[in-house]
Amino acid sequence: DAKTTQPPSMDCAEGRAANLPCNHSTISGNEYVYWYRQIHSQGPQYIIHGLKNNETNEMASLIITEDRKSSTLILPHATLRDTAVYYCIVRGATSGTYKYIFGTGTRLKVLA
């Protein structure tokens, strides 16, 4: 089972920041938080990942709380092309496996 909880859907106005929350209260010390997104009819696409520090790349920013029990993916200026399902994944070797377990994600709709 996925170790994360995400809202099933969110709307965001085009040009505004999209803030997608994720709860991972059972995360272990050596587990990373990953974000992927899936645009309709395509395979998931890597966005960003982090362990405990905030991270930023050309696509997004990842803010992880100090206790690491939740995180927020920020798309600073959402466009219509950011409409997708966003998956938050916790992954590491704690359970003896490195597989990625996807939940049902957050369906983000960017509105014109």
Partner 1 sequence: DTGVSQDPRHKITKRGQNVTFRCDPISEHNRLYWYRQTLGQGPEFLTYFQNEAQLEKSRLLSDRFSAERPKGSFSTLEIQRTEQGDSAMYLCASSLSGTNEKLFFGSGTQLSVL
Query: Which residues make up the interface to partner 1 (CB under 8 A)?
Result: 2, 32, 36, 41-46, 49, 85, 87, 97-105
* Contact between residue 63 and residue 53 where contact means Cβ atoms under 8 Å apart: no
Comparison of 41 and 112: residue with beta carbon closer to partner 1: 41
- Helical ranges in the chain per DSSP H: none
CB of 28 to partner 1, least distance (A): 15
Closest approach of Cβ 65 to partner 1, in Å?
A: 21
Smallest distance from partner 1 to CB 80, Å: 21
Find out whether 89 and 100 touch, Cβ atoms under 8 Å. yes
Question: In the complex with partner 1, which residue's Cβ is closer, 45 or 65?
Answer: 45
9 versus 15: smaller Cβ distance to partner 1: 9
Closest CA to 68 of 18, 26, 103: 26
Instruction: Tell me how crowded residue 87 is: count the other CB atoms within 10 A of its CB.
Output: 25
